[in-house]
A and B are shown apart, each in its own frame.
Chain A
Amino acid sequence: MSDVVEKTLTALPGLFDSQTGAAKITNRLRQLVKSITELTSKHEEENLIKQELCAMKEQVSSPNTSMKQMREIMVRAMYCEMLGYDASFTYIHAIKLAQQGGVLEKRVGYLAVSLFLNEGHELLLLLVNTVLKDLQSTNLIEACMALTVVAQVFPKDMIPAVLPLVEDKLSHPKEIIRRKAVLALYKFYLIAPNQVQHIHGKFRKALSDRDPGVMASSLHIYLQLIRESPDSYKDLTGSFVTILKQVLGGKLPVDFNYHSVPAPWLQIQLLRILSLLGKEDQSTSELMYEVLDESLRRAEMNHNITYAILYECVKAVYTIHPKVELLEKAARCIGNFVLSPKINLKYLGLKALTYVVQHDAKLALQHQMTIIECLDHSDFTIKRETLELLFRITNAQNVTVIVEKMLDFLRGCNDEHTIIHLVGKVSELAEKFAPDNSWFIQTMNCVFSIGGDLLQQDVPNNFLRLLAEGSESKEEDDQLRLYAVESYLTVLKGHTSHLPQCFLQVMSWVLGEYAHLQGSVDRREVIRLLTQLLDQRSVSSETRVWILSALTKIPEGQTDLILHLAERLSSSQDTVLRQQAQELLHLSQDSQLHEWVLPRGAPWDAIEVDSSLSFLDGFVSEALAAGAAPYKPPHQRQEELCEDRALNLEPYSFSLPVSLSSCSITDRQSPTLLSVSSGLSGNSTELSQKAGSSTLILEGVKRVWGKDGYLPQKEATAPLVDEPSAAVQPPVQQEAAERTEPRPELSTRNQDKQQLASSLFVGLGVGSSVSLLGRSEAPPPRFRKKPRPHESSSSGTSEKSSGSSCRSSHHTTDIFLYGSFLEEEPATSKSAFDHTPKSTTANGLSQNKDTKEDKHANTSQIFGGDMVIVRPSTIQDKHPPSESSDLTALLPADLKDLPHSDVISLTSDPSLSLSSCRLFRDEALLLLIFISNCTETVIKDVAVQLTCEELKTASLRGNIVDCLEARSTSVCHYALLMDDPHTNVSFTGTVSYQTQPGHTNTLPFSGTLSTADFIRPLVLTTEEYGKLWLSLSHDVKQNLKLLTDAGDPLRTTLNALKDALQLHVVDIIGSEGIVACRLLSGAPCLLHCRVSGAALVMWLRSPHPALPDCILYHCQRALAHR
């Protein structure tokens, strides 16, 4: 039979030869393919392709190669690249082909470019001109190709160059061109949202385009925009509903039908958009009930694509504000999906259920038998989705069965991705719902041994933290720890060679910390077990370090064993191990030192880390005395380099090409930052909190929780004896396992399923409250972590202050670095503000007082050297003061004079109402949260906790109020810092309080802050501006709208920007203006504006790469909203 193939293949050339020219060209490709398929090994293929590539290389560099041949070479190169071989020498020729070839060659050239190059590839710059030329071409096909390539790969920097041309195409007479232009703009929006800000109006035009195809492509953009900020597009809801109605009513041309369903993909998109718009918005949702109903009704034909529509529809119904009739219909649809014999529909049904159970757990009850069947389904995907569903319905009653099912699945699964994903869920469930200690530890043991080293690092971290921090009750914690120790000892006594490293690390840490709790086991036994691990070859060197640290912690009296071990290891090849062995040796010999370095029973928050390394001061001063050069931080060294550059006196010119300057110059620090920090270099103690003699020297000690300066809490009390020991396989779990075991008898199988069902779905029925609007209140997790109201975001350098914060255990403040903000006194109630908080200590902040004198005259004050900050006399507020503005009267006296925003209400419940107000201080944004007691009774223990990943909290005050009188208001301050600019940041938080003793309520709140809140004016002279301009590297250029409604457009526009963003207008010369601002007291940003026709060309520079983009974004918003 194989001869047939041979014959065919030998016949092929003949066929080709009968043609001429071009046919011969494809010959090469055909030969290549043929020879590749004849090969048997990968190695041969490699050789062949290498030969081929060599031949191609020769060919492309020969001047005689015609365009046609080049085209053929490109196709071959594509083939080789597809097989994974590098044909990078052809890239440049692909660009050449697109540049110089006829239409046919161009097409291949563009195609090759889009396959070979990525957005960041440098060669792409060479393509820009070609694209520009083709975009202007009258040949439709050329324009199409150019648009396609622009949407596939295009350098971000060069978007401004093609943007106007692409925009023009939006009004092109041919619909295909308009459609491609819309998608190209969408692509631009995705990679550089700021650049297409100004054409949002045109998107709307595209949405109402007469051609449905163009409208359909604009939906891509709207889906994205609405996902980002649904509130801004609520007004379009009506239009989307109308469009969907028309589509459903068959108003589109028949061309759009697919299997006689009108424009199904369009419907899917519209449904998605509607669900985003209607989410948590009753009035908007009401607009779409009718059309959703119709959609559900129409989609009844039995074709795949109608199910796709139906699925989207159901999801939409469950996402928007609920309406009972629709929910009923949707639930029926889900039922049809789940019960469908078609496996794809079953899958979607399960997915829909997973989504829906968050709103209505009862629906899962209806389908419990199907769900159980799906658990044993042969399809991996279905099984996984079922487990996902079970995960969502887990509660304290069914957790053992569900976790058992998940672990069963995991044991038989070998897909890494799935394991990582599921194991995380199991540990989450175990932590949340564990019925008892033994089950929890056993489950975590399974997690560690199955997940092994694939585990995300936070799983073991969380587990250890939970063990270490414990809950409120010491006794319970110790029982848990004790159980862990016992179970690990049992594990270690068995075979250990197959255990994953991560599990070994966890075990050795726990044994090191808590082995002393277990009185009945000999210390020597523990040491022996751990030492045994050290001898195993499979144990990695990182794990060895963990084991050794554990051994260091198990102390006292066992000197002979330790000495033996230390001696053996001190000749190890691994330097870290050797070092640790030395430490071990020293510590074991000096029990006093041991007690000091590794204190047992010391609460973790009392440990201080001297992060300023002040204990080295003696060494430093000696070195200085001996003539060593003082230490300079890296940025200072860099500044000196900059200064050298600054002497070159480049002309202050604006005609540099933007893109080149932005990519070539390296990042440099702003001079302002440096002048402040240069004073810090010599002696570190100035900066540090004097820790005095209590400072611990922690060199060389392996810290598990070094990040937070955290050390585990230990119990000084004697180990508990009454704990039942060595209960390794608890009876509870065995029982559960037995229950889930499928029986061989067929007759009982069904019964088993029923039983399984009852154990799986327990707790979902009548007892649980079903709320449509949200998930019903989850039971409090069993293992609660200690509340840590103020988790410091600044890592390593942070320092836990002990002194005053010990007053309340909730109180830890990050005082390092922001020592000057140190204002820490828990406010009790409103009256607390009668006495002004002692305004700050130390440097810098004396200006706080100056402010009062200064601000009326609006004079400037000196700020850190030659830069001057102007405090705007008023902050423009767009909204009229609301009724809650009387809250501003509550502002503390020292803050009253600061410019501030309106008071906005955050959230409220029957007892408390929260509002916030932003105060603009030079060096921070003060976020004030007003907590008002709306009841006639006293509310106790009010604690505010605020989290925001992007911002740093410099200081906080008043976040704990012991007692809030009836009808009174307390104020909580957060001084927030923004280090990296983000266009908008959102914060979330909770207030917990007690109306009755022992009954804690929590009230969540959230809000957003914009960069504009963190922008402060930067005052400098034109000369300083010029100098600074040259030293900044990151720049962005963009055309903005010019406000032309007044006599002097430039001045009006700049004033508008100044009002909105607190910029400082340095100078206006003719048609150019220069403006300066900074991010709090950090990175400056310089803006250069020039009027060009009806637009304002804005050029921004800053030492911070992201700052110009952010400011630009807010400028655009400010101008657009006028």
Chain B
Amino acid sequence: MIKAILIFNNHGKPRMSKFYEHYTEDTEQQIIRETFHLVSKRDENVCNFLEGGLLIGGSENKLIYRHYATLYFVFCVDSSESELGILDLIQVFVETLDKCFENVCELDLIFHLDKVHNILAEMVMGGMVLETNMSEIITQVEAQGKMEKSEAGIAGAPARAVSAVKNMNLPEMPKNINIGDISIKVPNLPSFK
């Protein structure tokens, strides 16, 4: 079972967090901090698996993570999940986000927290993997999206606005500024080493 899915950026700022088990608010924050601490100090050329820290449940659980440009995607799972399987699930998740947001970037996740959650809900339900097929996930999300448009024609506007911003001339955005995250796209998703 998947216990938690966390996304945070290189500075440890949470961008999305979803817990499938109940923890108190404080513990959740501690878990995010601890996980960031564990994951961020790892080099690029080491494996993508980690034993869970103290908080996330001891030796039964493990962290499986991927690092894309500015974002870390971390899945905390128990022993009943396959390590490599989850690793590819993260890939599917990111590819799906990329499709849904047309070149996803960190800003998309911030501004469309609810949409990210909805996409995730189509993939993982209550800690169990529901769907791994990208086109199927997109179909489901779009079905909801259509309803969204028919109900409020302008609701799609912000997404368009953000993608307009993204298409502006930003590739040389300095990285040392916090908000500089906008520029860093997930390029063509470097396939797994």
Q: Which residues of A contact B144 (CB under 8 A)?
A: 107, 141
The residue that B117 contacts in the complex, of A30, A111, A140, A265, with Cβ under 8 A, is A111
The residue that B121 contacts in the complex, of A5, A9, A148, A381, with Cβ under 8 A, is A148
**Binary interface encoding of chain B residues 159-174 relative to chain A, with 1 for a CB under 8 A from any of its CBs, else 0:** 0010011001010111
Q: How many Å from the CB of B127 to the closest CB on chain A?
A: 8
A305 on interface, CB distance cutoff 8 Å: yes
Contacting B at CB under 8 A, from A1051-1091, are none
- A12-B165 contact in complex given A344-B47, A416-B54, C-beta closer than 8 Å: yes
**Binary interface encoding of chain B residues 79-106 relative to chain A, with 1 for a CB under 8 A from any of its CBs, else 0:** 0101111011100100000000000000
The residue that B192 contacts in the complex, of A184, A268, A304, with Cβ under 8 A, is A304
Known pairs A16-B157, A141-B147, A264-B85; list 5 more (Cβ under 8 Å): A11-B168, A104-B155, A179-B130, A179-B131, A378-B46
Contacting B at CB under 8 A, from A21-40, are 21-23, 26, 29-30, 33-34, 37-38
Query: CB distance A86 to B25 under 8 Å?
Result: yes
Q: Which residues of B contact A348 (CB under 8 A)?
A: 83-84
**Binary interface encoding of chain B residues 117-150 relative to chain A, with 1 for a CB under 8 A from any of its CBs, else 0:** 1100100011011111101100010011001100
Q: Which residues of A contact B87 (CB under 8 A)?
A: 304, 308, 344
- A265-B47 contact in complex given A20-B154, A26-B158, A30-B111, C-beta closer than 8 Å: no
Query: CB distance A217 to B128 under 8 Å?
Result: yes
A98 on interface, CB distance cutoff 8 Å: no
Query: CB distance A256 to B133 under 8 Å?
Result: yes
Q: Which residues of B contact A379 (CB under 8 A)?
A: 42-43, 46-47
A176 on interface, CB distance cutoff 8 Å: yes
Contacting B at CB under 8 A, from A814-831, are none
Q: How many Å from the CB of B9 to the closest CB on chain A?
A: 11
Docked complex Cα distance between A382 and B83 (Å)? 14
Q: Which residues of B contact A104 (CB under 8 A)?
A: 147-148, 151-152, 155
Docked complex Cα distance between A1014 and B42 (Å)? 54
Of the A-B pairs whose beta carbons lie under 8 Å apart in the complex, a sample of 8, sorted by A's number, is A5-B177, A22-B158, A26-B158, A38-B178, A344-B83, A378-B46, A416-B53, A421-B59
A569 on interface, CB distance cutoff 8 Å: no
Q: Which residues of A contact B157 (CB under 8 A)?
A: 16, 19, 22-23
Docked complex Cα distance between A37 and B177 (Å)? 9
- A1-B113 contact in complex given A141-B143, A180-B130, A213-B131, C-beta closer than 8 Å: no
Q: Which residues of A contact B80 (CB under 8 A)?
A: 223, 227, 272
**Binary interface encoding of chain A residues 260-274 relative to chain B, with 1 for a CB under 8 A from any of its CBs, else 0:** 000011001000100
Query: CB distance B168 to A308 under 8 Å?
Result: no
Contacting B at CB under 8 A, from A770-784, are none
Docked complex Cα distance between A1005 and B87 (Å)? 41
Q: Which residues of A contact B192 (CB under 8 A)?
A: 304, 344
Q: How many Å from the CB of B84 to the closest CB on chain A?
A: 3
Query: CB distance B158 to A311 under 8 Å?
Result: no
Query: CB distance A33 to B125 under 8 Å?
Result: no
Q: Which residues of A contact B110 (CB under 8 A)?
A: 33, 79
The residue that A265 contacts in the complex, of B14, B16, B85, with Cβ under 8 A, is B85
A606 on interface, CB distance cutoff 8 Å: no
Q: Which residues of B contact A16 (CB under 8 A)?
A: 157-158, 161
Q: Who on chain A is nearest to B15 by CB?
A: A82
Query: CB distance A176 to B46 under 8 Å?
Result: no
A151 on interface, CB distance cutoff 8 Å: yes
Q: Which residues of B contact A111 (CB under 8 A)?
A: 114, 117-118, 121
Q: Which residues of B contact A (CB under 8 A)?
A: 14, 16-18, 20, 22, 25-26, 28-29, 38, 42-43, 45-54, 58-59, 80, 82-85, 87-89, 92, 110-111, 113-114, 117-118, 121, 125-126, 128-133, 135-136, 140, 143-144, 147-148, 151-152, 154-155, 157-158, 161, 164-165, 168, 170, 172-174, 177-180, 182, 192-193
Nearest 3 interchain pairs by C-beta: A308-B84, A151-B126, A118-B22
Query: CB distance B113 to A82 under 8 Å?
Result: yes
A746 on interface, CB distance cutoff 8 Å: no
A-B contact count (CB 8 A): 216
Q: How many Å from the CB of A101 to the closest CB on chain B?
A: 10
Query: CB distance A22 to B154 under 8 Å?
Result: yes
A346 on interface, CB distance cutoff 8 Å: yes
Q: Who on chain B is nearest to A23 by CB?
A: B157
Contacting B at CB under 8 A, from A367-393, are 378-382, 384
Q: Which residues of B contact A735 (CB under 8 A)?
A: none
Docked complex Cα distance between A1009 and B178 (Å)? 62
Q: Which residues of A contact B125 (CB under 8 A)?
A: 148, 151-152, 180, 183
Docked complex Cα distance between A187 and B46 (Å)? 35
Query: CB distance B18 to A23 under 8 Å?
Result: no
A120 on interface, CB distance cutoff 8 Å: yes
Q: Who on chain B is nearest to A108 by CB?
A: B114
Query: CB distance A312 to B82 under 8 Å?
Result: yes
Docked complex Cα distance between A452 and B143 (Å)? 57
Q: Which residues of A contact B118 (CB under 8 A)?
A: 107, 111
- A34-B47 contact in complex given A15-B165, A22-B155, A311-B84, C-beta closer than 8 Å: no
Q: Which residues of A contact B182 (CB under 8 A)?
A: 5, 8
Q: How many Å from the CB of B15 to the closest CB on chain A?
A: 8
Contacting B at CB under 8 A, from A78-108, are 78-79, 81-84, 86, 102-104, 107-108
Query: CB distance B178 to A82 under 8 Å?
Result: no
Contacting B at CB under 8 A, from A412-431, are 415-418, 421
The residue that B28 contacts in the complex, of A21, A23, A84, A415, with Cβ under 8 A, is A84
Query: CB distance A23 to B126 under 8 Å?
Result: no
**Binary interface encoding of chain A residues 894-922 relative to chain B, with 1 for a CB under 8 A from any of its CBs, else 0:** 00000000000000000000000000000
Q: How many Å from the CB of A424 to the closest CB on chain B?
A: 10
Query: CB distance A23 to B158 under 8 Å?
Result: yes
Docked complex Cα distance between A346 and B42 (Å)? 17
Q: Which residues of B contact A115 (CB under 8 A)?
A: 18, 117
Q: How many Å from the CB of A305 to the closest CB on chain B?
A: 5
Query: CB distance A75 to B114 under 8 Å?
Result: yes
Docked complex Cα distance between A344 and B86 (Å)? 12
The residue that A304 contacts in the complex, of B29, B84, B155, with Cβ under 8 A, is B84
The residue that A78 contacts in the complex, of B42, B114, B129, with Cβ under 8 A, is B114
Q: Which residues of A contact B25 (CB under 8 A)?
A: 81, 84, 86
Docked complex Cα distance between A75 and B118 (Å)? 12
- A83-B14 contact in complex given A217-B128, A342-B193, C-beta closer than 8 Å: yes
Q: Which residues of B contact A119 (CB under 8 A)?
A: 22
Docked complex Cα distance between A180 and B17 (Å)? 22
Q: Who on chain A is nearest to B121 by CB?
A: A148
A233 on interface, CB distance cutoff 8 Å: no
Q: Who on chain A is nearest to B14 by CB?
A: A82
The residue that B49 contacts in the complex, of A29, A311, A347, with Cβ under 8 A, is A347
Query: CB distance A82 to B173 under 8 Å?
Result: no
A747 on interface, CB distance cutoff 8 Å: no
Contacting B at CB under 8 A, from A163-184, are 176, 179-180, 183-184
Contacting B at CB under 8 A, from A464-481, are none
Query: CB distance A347 to B47 under 8 Å?
Result: yes
A307 on interface, CB distance cutoff 8 Å: yes
Query: CB distance B88 to A15 under 8 Å?
Result: no
Q: How many Å from the CB of A53 to the closest CB on chain B?
A: 14
Docked complex Cα distance between A417 and B118 (Å)? 34
Q: Which residues of A contact B111 (CB under 8 A)?
A: 26, 29-30, 33
Q: How many Å from the CB of A697 to the closest CB on chain B?
A: 43
Query: CB distance B46 to A343 under 8 Å?
Result: yes
A4 on interface, CB distance cutoff 8 Å: yes
Q: Which residues of A contact B114 (CB under 8 A)?
A: 74-75, 78, 107-108, 111
Query: CB distance B46 to A417 under 8 Å?
Result: no
Query: CB distance B88 to A264 under 8 Å?
Result: yes
Docked complex Cα distance between A387 and B5 (Å)? 29
Q: Which residues of A contact B168 (CB under 8 A)?
A: 8, 11
Q: How many Å from the CB of B50 to the closest CB on chain A?
A: 6
Docked complex Cα distance between A347 and B133 (Å)? 27
Contacting B at CB under 8 A, from A246-265, are 255-256, 258, 264-265
Docked complex Cα distance between A74 and B178 (Å)? 25
Q: Who on chain B is nearest to A30 by CB?
A: B111
